[in-house]
Amino acid sequence: MTHPPPIPPFDSRGLLPPGDYQVTFQDIRQSHLITGAGHGPTWDAAWRSTLLDGCEVMVRQLWQVGITSIVLDGSFVEDKDHPSDIDGYFDCDIKTLASVVAQLNALDFHRIWNWNPESRVFDPATGKAQLPMWHQYRTELYPNTQQQSGIRDRHGQPLLFPSAFRQQRGSFEQKGVLLISQGGTP
C-alpha cells in the first residue's frame, strides 16, 4: 500500500493546500520543495537545499534547548523557483523566553537569536533591512508567546502567529505550513 507524501503538491494557487504537515528534514529533502519534481527547469534545487541547511542549523539549536513546536512557512513552501528565505515560528513561554534566547546564543557562534529592529542590517538584494539570523542562515524564526505577529487579516485586524502564518500575505488565502518533527533525524 502506498502512502501519500508527507508534503502534498502545490495547489492551483502555487501554495500548499491548507493544513499542518508534520515532516522531518529528511522528508523535506526528498520532497518537491527541494527536488522540484513536477516543476520547470528554472527550479533552483541547489539554492533551496542551501536554505534548508541554514534552517536546520537553527532548528537543531531550538531542539537542544527543549523547543519542539516549530512551524516553517514563507516563500520556501510556495511554488517559487528561487525563494528568498525560510520563515517560521516556534512556541515558547514568555516567562522563559529570555533564558531560551541566552541558551540559543550560547549555542550559535554568530549569536543571531535576536529580533531587535535596531540589529537589522540593510540587504541591497532585497532592498530592506534584515535580522542577523537572516543574514547568517537566510531563515527567520520568531518566538510565538501568544503575542500579535505584526501581520493583519483582510479586515485589518492583528493576527497571532498561528493564524498569520497560515494565510498568504496580500491575498489572505489559507495555505499549509510545515510542522518540523525530530523523528527520523540522527
183 within 8 A of 26, measured Cβ to Cβ: no
pLDDT at position 186:
40
108 occurs within a structural domain: no
Residue 20 in grid coordinates? 499542518
6 occurs within a structural domain: no
**pLDDT tens digits in sequence order for the chain, 186 residues long:** 556 678 999 999 999 999 999 999 999 999 999 999 888 889 999 999 999 999 999 999 999 999 999 999 989 999 999 999 999 999 999 999 999 999 999 999 999 999 999 999 999 999 999 999 999 999 999 999 987 778 877 888 888 778 888 888 778 888 999 999 987 544
pLDDT at position 64:
97
1 within 8 A of 69, measured Cβ to Cβ: no
Strand 158-160 relative to strand 86-91: parallel, antiparallel, unpaired? unpaired
pLDDT at position 152:
79
114 occurs within a structural domain: no
Single-letter residue type at 68: T
- Using CA atoms, how far apart are residues 33 and 52, in angstroms rounded to an integer? 10
CA dist list (Å): 55 to 38, 45, 148: 24, 15, 23
Range of the domain at 43: 19-95+139-180
88 occurs within a structural domain: yes
132 occurs within a structural domain: no
133 occurs within a structural domain: no
**DSSP assigned state of 122:** E
pLDDT at position 183:
72
- Using CA atoms, how far apart are residues 141 and 169, in angstroms rounded to an integer? 17
Task: Count the neighbouring beta carbons within 10 Å of the beta carbon of residue 151.
Answer: 14
- Using CA atoms, how far apart are residues 2 and 7, in angstroms rounded to an integer? 14
For residue 110, report the phi and psi dihedrals to the nearest 5 degrees: -90, -5
State the total domains in the chain. Answer: 1
pLDDT at position 185:
42
pLDDT at position 161:
78
54 occurs within a structural domain: yes
- Using CA atoms, how far apart are residues 14 and 33, in angstroms rounded to an integer? 12
104 occurs within a structural domain: no
Question: What is the rounded radius of gyration, in angstroms, for the C-alpha atoms of the chain?
Answer: 16
